[in-house]
Amino acid sequence: MRILITGVCGFVGSVLAKHLKGALPGVDIVGLDNLMRKGSERNVESLCSLGVTFVRGDLRCASDLASLPAADWVVDAAAMPSILAGLSADNSSQQVVEHNLIGSLNLLEYCRRHASGFILLSTSRVYSIHALSQLALTESEVCFGLSREFQHPGISYMGIDESFSTSAPVSIYGATKLASETMAAEYGEAFGFLVFINRCGVLAGAGQFGRQDQGIFSYWLNSHFNKKPLRYLGFQGNGKQVRDCLHPTDLGRLVVLQIQSNDRNKPRVCHVGGGIDSAVSLKELTTWCDGRFGPHEVVSSDQVRPYDLPWVVLDASRAERVWGWKPTISREEILDEIALHAVENPRWLESTS
């Protein structure tokens, strides 16, 4: 079996490649990456040492895919993943569309030619900003939470499910992923190849190239350890906004199940997130860091960023029902892993930003 992984040198792509190599004996993995993200070049050597065939290429250029060997499956882990991507005054909005949508369309043409199965890594950011901003929330000393009395289609105290509204606006980034989902489903139906769409929560672990707008767990822990400036943005600067987290190794476990399946009756779309058990606010994360690294001041700011939301937690119950999948790596284990990496690599954020 041959698997093509795009964005293979990114944090998620590289972890997936390593997991699939260990979980699927004899698998041949071809990894494609344009190395645009600073820090991604660090993963080339370790991937090649595992037997991954690395190809430097760009998904936006269809001819870069033409020379690749046929694969049984394609895992699309390449993207400009920031919710703020495309909002600057330059042509970055076009860049987001070209990377996230046109790149996926080029991959779908590859799958059509080679009858490859297609697994798209999508995002929780395909959901309606307006609907999510209207949630009835409770507020404790440390975090926001969803009111138990709140009733709305597609959501419960366990989190957002796959039926929640995807009405615009969802951000330019979210729109490119939602459009990619639609095209993937249409290509799969039209040309008869399997398609699975995994809407991921916040993926986190050691070696992530964290920034304020993407990879927040890695960014927060590394910045706290190095006593770099940190700010609570928006929501009265209280740091009570909540996200769940998932290690990409757990994502890899689901990808293996999908690759091994030929069941066309399985639902195409599943949430892949840590769920309510892994949910944590920035304020709680700071308390954890204070206990691990010693106290560090976090400044409060009323600055409001576009598309910021106070509470986003994915309910992955469908993946458990359909695939027998649920996370095995706890939030504490994820934080421990990132903390150890931060101590061992104190200049990590400087070298990857």
d(CA 325, CA 304): 36
Enter the tokens of residue 214. Answer: 């993407």
Domains and CATH numbers, the chain: 2-352 (3.40.50.720)
What is the Cα 130 distance to its own chain's centre?
21
Collapse the DSSP code of 77 into the 3-class scheme (helix H, G, I; strand E, B; otherwise coil) and give the result. coil
Residue whose token pair is 């690749």: 68
Residue whose token pair is 């040198």: 9
Q: Are 118 and 108 in contact (CB under 8 A)?
A: yes
Stretch 165-171: mean pLDDT, rounded?
A: 96
Residue 114 pLDDT grade (very low, low, confident, very high; cuts 50, 70, 90): very high
DSSP classification of residue 315: -
What is the Cα 155 distance to its own chain's centre?
20
d(CA 210, CA 335): 13
Of all residues in the chain, the percent with pLDDT exceeding 70 is 99
Residue whose token pair is 């699927």: 24
Q: How many residues does the chain have?
A: 353
Residue 257 pLDDT grade (very low, low, confident, very high; cuts 50, 70, 90): very high
- Average pLDDT score over the chain: 95
Q: List pLDDT tens digits, range 50-93.
A: 999 999 999 999 999 999 999 999 999 999 888 887 787 666 88
The pLDDT, as a whole number, for residue 85 is 77
The pLDDT, as a whole number, for residue 91 is 60
Rounded to 5 degrees, φ, ψ at 319 are: -60, -35
User: What is the Rg, in whole angstroms, of the alpha carbon atoms belonging to the chain?
Assistant: 20
What is the Cα 240 distance to its own chain's centre?
21
**Kindly report the CA angle at 218 between 213 and 220, in degrees rounded to 5?**
70
pTM, full prediction = 0.96
